C-alpha cells in the first residue's frame, strides 16, 4: 500500500528528490544529483539525474510524484519527443535581440503585457524559439513540438512516446512561455507562430491537482500517480503558502520576488512578469539573474570563506561608506540588460576597506531584489513583510542586512527544499483529490527598525543613481 509521495526539483544546478509523508509533509528520504554546467544542456542528462536520484531514495512505497522544474527552458523535440538540440536554459541570453524584435513586431511592450502578462526578454521561451528559427533553420525544421523542462520529465515518467503518453503541463509553468495567457487561460498559437514561424505541438494544460497519468511500468515510478508538475517558483509558493502582504524573496542561482495574487497583472515596463500559480491563482514575479553567486564572487575577491565574508560585511555600516556594487555579473534580466557587467562605484580612499566591499556586495545584490519589491508596488501589490528563502538566505550577513535594504520586516524561513516540497504537495493533491494543509516552519523574524527604514532609503537611493 503506497504511503508516501515524491516531489522533485529539477533546477539549473541539480535534481533534488524528497520522499514525503502526505499526512504532515515531513521528509522521510531525499537524494540529489548534479546537472551539467552551462546555459544549454542535453535534457537527457536531467532524466539520468532524476532516475539515479529516484533509485537512491526507493519508490516501492510511493503513490504519487510531481516534478517542479526551472522555468522557461526550451526543449525542442522531434515527432518522437526526442530533443533536436540541447535545451536552452532560462539564463541563456543569446536570444536577447530576438526578444526585442518580438516586442516590436507585436506593437510594443503593452501589447505583450496585455496578451500574456509578460514582456519577452532573453529568458522567455518564445524568444528562444525565435533565435533557433533564425540561427539554426535546419534544427528548427526537424522540430515538431516544444516543451518546458518539467513537461519533458513528466512526460518521460509516464513512458513518453513508447507509451503513447500525451505531454501535459500546468498553468504556472505555461505562463512563462510567452505564448500562454494567464488572462484567458489559453494558449496563444498566433504568438507561438510569430516566434517560431510555424505551429508546434504544445502540452495540454492540466488543472491544479489533476492526475495526468501514471508512471510507466518499466520506468522509475511504475504505477504511481503523476501530477502535472509546475515551475520552480510556483512550486516554492505552493509549499510555503503566504498571508496578505507576504512577499517571497528567493536567493538562489537567480533572485526572485513573488507573491500570491487573486488577479492577473500586466506590466508594460516588463519588470513584473504576470505569471499564473499552481493553485488556480496568479503569481506576479520579478526575477534577477544575479543572486547567491554574487556573494561567492565577493568572498573570492576578499579571499575568505562564507563565514569570513559575513563577518566582514556585518562589520561595516549601512551604505558601506558610499561604496556601491551593481551586481550585473552575468548580464541582467530585470532590468533587461543582457550585455551588462558588474560595476563598483563611489570608491574613495576613505571607504576602500574589505569590510565596506563585503557590505556593498550584499547590499548591491539585495538592492536588485528590492527594486523588484518596488516594481510589484507599482502594479498595486504592496508588501508588508519579506519571507526569505534560498541558499543565499542562509548567509548571516544577508538575513541581518536585509531589513536595512528592504525597509520591511524579514522572516527567514527554515532551510528546506521548498521547490521539491511544493511538488510533493501537488503530488499528494493529485493522489487524494484534496490539497494538503501542511505548515512550513518559520525560522526567525528580523524586525525592521526606524533606523533600518531610514538606511534602506539611503542605500537604495545611492544604488538607483548608479544603475540609472
**What positions carry a catalytic annotation?**
232
Q: Is the dihedral of CA 316, 321, 325, 326 positive or negative?
A: positive
* Strands 273-276 and 343-345, sheet pairing: unpaired
Give the DSSP H/E element, type plus range, for residue 116: helix 109-116
What SS3 class is residue 215?
Answer: coil
Task: Output b/e per residue, 111-149; b: 16+ Cβ within 10 A.
Answer: ebbebbbbbbbbbbbbbbbbbbbeeeeeebeebebbbbb
Three-point CA angle 147, 153, 155, nearest 5°: 75
Q: Around Cβ 193, how many Cβ atoms within 10 Å? A: 14
Q: How many angstroms separate the Cα of 274 from the Cα of each of 126, 235, 258, 285, 332?
A: 15, 16, 10, 7, 19
φ and ψ of 201, to 5 deg: -70, 140
CB–CB of 37/73 below 8 Å?
Answer: no
Q: Please, which residues bridge with residue 30 across strands?
A: 18
User: Distance of CA 117 to CAs 177, 230, 375, 396, 458, Å?
Assistant: 11, 18, 14, 36, 32
Radius of gyration of the chain (CA): 22
φ, ψ for residue 322 (rounded to 5)? Answer: 95, 0
Amino acid at each position: 500500500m503506497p504511503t508516501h509521495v515524491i516531489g522533485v526539483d529539477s533546477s539549473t544546478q541539480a535534481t533534488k528528490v524528497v520522499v514525503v509523508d502526505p499526512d504532515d509533509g515531513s521528509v522521510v528520504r531525499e537524494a540529489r544529483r548534479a546537472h551539467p554546467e552551462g546555459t544549454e544542456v542535453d535534457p537527457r542528462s536531467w532524466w539520468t539525474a532524476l532516475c539515479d536520484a529516484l533509485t537512491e531514495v526507493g519508490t516501492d512505497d510511493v503513490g504519487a510524484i510531481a516534478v517542479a522544474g526551472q522555468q522557461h527552458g526550451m526543449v525542442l523535440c522531434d515527432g518522437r519527443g526526442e530533443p533536436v538540440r540541447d535545451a536552452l536554459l532560462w539564463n541563456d541570453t543569446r536570444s536577447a535581440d530576438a526578444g526585442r524584435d518580438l516586442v516590436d513586431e507585436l506593437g510594443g511592450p503593452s501589447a505583450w503585457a496585455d496578451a500574456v502578462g509578460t514582456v519577452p526578454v532573453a529568458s522567455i521561451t518564445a524568444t528562444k524559439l525565435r533565435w533557433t528559427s533564425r540561427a539554426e533553420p535546419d534544427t528548427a525544421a526537424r522540430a515538431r513540438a516544444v516543451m518546458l523542462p518539467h513537461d519533458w520529465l513528466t512526460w518521460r515518467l509516464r513512458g513518453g512516446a513508447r507509451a503513447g503518453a500525451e505531454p501535459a503541463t500546468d498553468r504556472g509553468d505555461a505562463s512563462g512561455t510567452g505564448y500562454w495567457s494567464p488572462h484567458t487561460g489559453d494558449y496563444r498559437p498566433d504568438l507561438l507562430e510569430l516566434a517560431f514561424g510555424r505551429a508546434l505541438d504544445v502540452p495540454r494544460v492540466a488543472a491544479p491537482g489533476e492526475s495526468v497519468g501514471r508512471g510507466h511500468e518499466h520506468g522509475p515510478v511504475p504505477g504511481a500517480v503523476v501530477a502535472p508538475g509546475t515551475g520552480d517558483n510556483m512550486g516554492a509558493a505552493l509549499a510555503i503558502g503566504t498571508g496578505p502582504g507576504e512577499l517571497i524573496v528567493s536567493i538562489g542561482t537567480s533572485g526572485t520576488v513573488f507573491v500570491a495574487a487573486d488577479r492577473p497583472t500586466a506590466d508594460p515596463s516588463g519588470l513584473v512578469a504576470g505569471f499564473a500559480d499552481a493553485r488556480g491563482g496568479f503569481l506576479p514575479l520579478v526575477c534577477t539573474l544575479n543572486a547567491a553567486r554574487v556573494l561567492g564572487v565577493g568572498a573570492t575577491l576578499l579571499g575568505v570563506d562564507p563565514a569570513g565574508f559575513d563577518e566582514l560585511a556585518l562589520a561595516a555600516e549601512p551604505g558601506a561608506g558610499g561604496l556601491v556594487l551593481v551586481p550585473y555579473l552575468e548580464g541582467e534580466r530585470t532590468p533587461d540588460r543582457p550585455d551588462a557587467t558588474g560595476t563598483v562605484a563611489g570608491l574613495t580612499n576613505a571607504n576602500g576597506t574589505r569590510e565596506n566591499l563585503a557590505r556593498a556586495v550584499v547590499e548591491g545584490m539585495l538592492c536588485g531584489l528590492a527594486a523588484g519589491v518596488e516594481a510589484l508596488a507599482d502594479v498595486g501589490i504592496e508588501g508588508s513583510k519579506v519571507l526569505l528563502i534560498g541558499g543565499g538566505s542562509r548567509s548571516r550577513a544577508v538575513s541581518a542586512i536585509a531589513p536595512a535594504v528592504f525597509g520591511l520586516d524579514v522572516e527567514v524561513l527554515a532551510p528546506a527544499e521548498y521547490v521539491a516540497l511544493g511538488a510533493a504537495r501537488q503530488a499528494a493533491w493529485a493522489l487524494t483529490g484534496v490539497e494538503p494543509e501542511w505548515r512550513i516552519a518559520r525560522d526567525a523574524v528580523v524586525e525592521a527598525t526606524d533606523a533600518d527604514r531610514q538606511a534602506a532609503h539611503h542605500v537604495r537611493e545611492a544604488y538607483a543613481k548608479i544603475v540609472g
